Amino acid sequence: MRGVVMYAPGDVRVEDREDPEIIEPTDAVIRLSATCVCGSDLWPYRGVEPVDRQVMGHEYVGVVEEVGSAVRNVGVGDFVVGSFVISDNTCEICRSGYQSKCVHASFVAQSIGTQAERARIPHADGTLVATPGQPGPELIPSLLATSDVLGTGWFAADAAQAGPGRTVAVVGDGAVGLMGVLAARELGAERIIAMSRHADRQDLARFYGATDIVAERGEEGVERVRELTEGLGAHSVIEAVGTQESMMQAVRSTRPGGYVGYVGVAHDVELPGEELFFSAVHLHGGPAPVRRFLPDLIRRVWDREIDPGRVFDLSLPLDQAAEGYRAMDERRAVKTLLTL
Ligand SMILES: [Zn+2]
């Protein structure tokens, strides 16, 4: 089968990879209907994380081709969505809603690489969720978005306690930040402040429910959020970048007693203990337990309540994945869909 391999920073190739097979009785093999490039794939692409001939991709939707003898919840021919973390969905951590930290968790990105024609999904019963039927092509981008960016943005909004009467600020205008805006709107937030300097992303943020845009960053951005909230700061802040600057911008934009939901993969972030102590804010985040939200998110997409698929502003065949990475790296695209 064809699949993406990142040889080194900036060096993305599509080549023949070994076809996946059932290994464990709890496995399923799926044929991908679509896949995509994640903002987190840009960390190794830019040399921030080490990379050496790594299979790529962790977002996926597709049709089950084969199941192991122990698989019960999904069957051959089902259209399925899965999370970017494998989980059994039965252990105590899973049952508490933290499937991304399952005792059997493994990252799809590291071991499987779904920027490919087919993929082996371990713990298929726990990881995969079947849609109510075969989706039309117009639903596929939105279903694919639930696999990571929407699920992650949703978790961030949930962790930040976004809801009625709340003002939510979103740090980061990548796909996850934009999905955080959508989630905050769906959860009933009264006011949503999107922090973005880019006109096209500001437009998309407004489409997804932003009521205010703040173009400033860092301390100036914090000041603008305070001005918009009578000097108090936001109730709920979504951090969707993962840098020192973005994390501190999030903490400082939050009012005392407020909540930060942080989902940007942290890179060299160090929190100053004394400032944190006196800020009196809640911090909650990490790799999103997308599996917790998948059934609800799939239903919202299926019923056309939400349109997260608009976050894909570039669509290319899998064989042109290198250009998909380049476009995102150069900020010509928010998120690249790869068709099969
Ligand atoms: Zn588990």
Spatial distance between the Cα atoms of 191 and 185, rounded to a whole number of angstroms: 8
The answer on 251 and 133 residing in a single domain is: no
**pLDDT at residue 238 tops 90:** yes
Cα dist from 228 to 18, 210, 221, 309, whole Å:
54, 13, 11, 30
- At which of 285, 312, 330 does a domain end? 285
Residue 93 Cα to ligand 1 midpoint, Å, equals 6
**Residue ending a domain, choose from 267, 285, 303:** 285
Q: Please state the domain count of the chain.
A: 2
**pLDDT band with cut points at 50, 70 and 90 for residue 110:** confident
What CATH number did the domain enclosing 295 receive? 3.90.180.10
Cα torsion through 215, 327, 290, 9, rounded to 10: -110
Q: What is the pLDDT of residues 303-323, one digit of tens each?
A: 999 999 999 999 999 999 999
Residue 246's pLDDT is 97
Q: How far is CA 230 from CA 12, 95, 136, 195, 225, in A?
A: 48, 40, 47, 18, 9
Q: Express each pLDDT in 325-339 by its tens digit.
A: 999 999 999 999 999
Looking at the fold, whether 107 and 192 belong to one and the same domain comes out as no
Q: With pLDDT > 70 as the criterion, what percentage of the chain qualifies?
A: 100
Higher confidence at residue 110 or residue 69?
69
How confident is the model over 158-196, as pLDDT tens digits?
A: 999 999 999 999 999 999 999 999 999 999 999 999 999
Query: What is the reported pLDDT for 59?
Result: 97
* CA–centroid distance, residue 30 to ligand 1 (Å): 21
C-alpha 178, offset from chain centre: 10
CA of 287 from ligand 1 middle (Å) equals 14
Is residue 28 located within the same domain as residue 139? yes
How many angstroms does the Cα of residue 85 sit away from the middle of ligand 1? Answer: 10
The verdict on 157 and 280 lying in the same domain is yes
User: Residue 111: which pLDDT band, with cuts at 50, 70 and 90?
Assistant: confident
Measured in angstroms, how far is the CA atom of residue 175 from the centroid of ligand 1?
27
127 Cα: distance to centroid of ligand 1 (angstroms): 10
Kindly state whether residues 322 and 243 are assigned to the same domain.
Answer: no
- Give me the pLDDT at residue 119, please: 98
Q: Give residue 257's domain range.
A: 153-285
Give 290 Cα–ligand 1 centroid separation in angstroms.
13
Distance 94 CA to ligand 1 centre (A): 4
Residues 171 and 93 in one domain: no
Answer yes or no: do 212 and 250 share one domain: yes
The verdict on 238 and 180 lying in the same domain is yes
CB atoms within 5 A of ion ligand 1 belong to 87-88, 91, 94, 102
User: What are the tens digits of pLDDT across the range 40-84?
Assistant: 999 999 999 999 999 999 999 999 999 999 999 999 999 999 999
Output the average pLDDT for the chain.
Answer: 97
Sign of the C-alpha dihedral computed for residues 313, 319, 325 and 331 taken in this order: negative
Q: pLDDT by residue (tens digit) across 119-155?
A: 999 999 999 999 999 999 999 999 999 999 999 999 9
Query: pLDDT value at position 288?
Result: 98
188 and 223 share one domain: yes
Same-domain check for residues 259 and 333: no
154 CA → ligand 1 middle, Å: 20
C-alpha 54 to ligand 1 mean position (Å): 26
Judged against a pLDDT cut of 90, whether residue 16 lies above it is answered with yes
Please give the distance, rounded to the nearest whole angstrom, from the Cα atom of residue 337 to the centre of ligand 1. 29
DSSP-derived 3-state class of residue 36: strand
Same-domain pairing of 167 and 141: no
User: What is the pTM for the complete model shown?
Assistant: 0.96
| pLDDT computed for residue 120 by the predictor | 98
Q: Which of 285, 303, 330 is the last residue of a domain?
A: 285
Smallest Cα–Cα separation from 261: which of 291, 289, 244, 240?
A: 240
The enclosing domain of 269 has a CATH number of 3.40.50.720
Token code pair at residue 18? 């070994």
Question: How much distance in Å is there from the Cα of 221 to the middle of ligand 1?
Answer: 39
Q: Are residues 226 and 93 in the same domain?
A: no
Residue 33 CA to ligand 1 center (angstroms) comes to 27
Q: What is the DSSP string of 113-149?
A: --SBSEEEESSHHHHEEE-SSPPPGGGHHHHHHHTTH
What is the spatial distance between Cα 160 and Cα 261, in angstroms, rounded to a whole number? 4
